[in-house]
Amino acid sequence: MSTINVLSVVHDEFGVPSKVLKSAQSTIPKALSSNQVLIKMLMAPINPSDINMIEGTYHLKPQLPAVVGNEGVGEVLEVGRNVDYLKPGDWVIPSQAGFGTWRTHAVDEVEKFRKISNDIPPLSAATLAVNPCTAYRMLKDFGNLQPGDIVIQNSANSAVGQSVIQIAKAWNLKTINIVRNRDNIDKLVSHLKDLGATHVVTEDFVRTPGMKELISSEGRPKLALNGVGGKSATELLRHIGSKGVMVTYGGMSRQPVIVPTGVFIFKEVSAVGYWNSQWNVENATSPERDLMFDELCDMIRECKLIPPQSEVFNLENFAEAVQSAMEGFQEKKKVLSMENFD
């Protein structure tokens, strides 16, 4: 039986990525059952959730041994005789998290894949399902936003934050974007402004009278997006408007979200959470999910939604890519490429 050689990045225990990750060689048959699809992976990013899953600290824990990677794009090579949804040459992304995208090829049932437009850049397709979708849903589903409304967010230079900036601009929303101070702050501010940010301020500035002046001139935000937690989340709540909503989607500081009592009582603010993987499970066959991907792909084609600045590594160099990613997710995104493998 004809087979395909597969290179994968796997772990058979949870722990520090540099200690538990390893490459593995295997083979898969070219002959498919009636509902199976054979794909060649093209690109797969390294997200914080991937690292957390390797460490065993994420809410989802894969069954070990596991192939790493929640997100990525692949090209369909062959389909089973009963598969009419896909054909060779189509591009697909995993329909749910935990698929294992850090590998050169995969065979699985057709329902494990979701067709994605193959007329967008592969980097955009590979990084579409997690961060842009998170940004899209938070802006669409919370705060009842209307054109001209204001959104405030921390972690504005993260992949989610950059997607928020661009989608908000496309929807005529204003954004106040908070970042940590750094040596290259002017360069970062310029980059986020180029993406469409209305205002970019540092965490230090947020605690000064200048922030109050900014809020007075623009008006109070209806929606706050929190990817940090701790004091940073508390500051968002201090500036949000009456009956506003703060959505927490991450906790980079590893500190709890503390809500001042007065914010709850006198401003009647709502504090909620959002997890993109759970939304995908609950809306696996929803037309709303199809509409989301269609709109995001349209934005990509119109150059209104570009992926974060990225550094691409060959899959064989996964260890270097992971180490680089762990040194700072706020700089260039790390992406694994399988293009050089047959």
Round to whole Å and give the CA distance between 139 and 340: 38
Start-end of H helices in the chain: 17-20, 48-55, 122-126, 131-141, 159-170, 185-195, 203-206, 209-218, 230-239, 261-266, 276-282, 287-301, 318-326
Round to whole Å and give the CA distance between 305 and 218: 25
User: Is 85 tagged catalytic?
Assistant: no
User: The tokens of 157 are what?
Assistant: 């230079």
CA distances from 191 to 128, 156, 184, 186, 195 (A): 20, 11, 11, 9, 6
User: Of the listed 58, 85, 136, 274, which one is catalytic?
Assistant: 58
**Are 31 and 87 a contacting pair, CB within 8 Å?**
no
Active site residues: 58
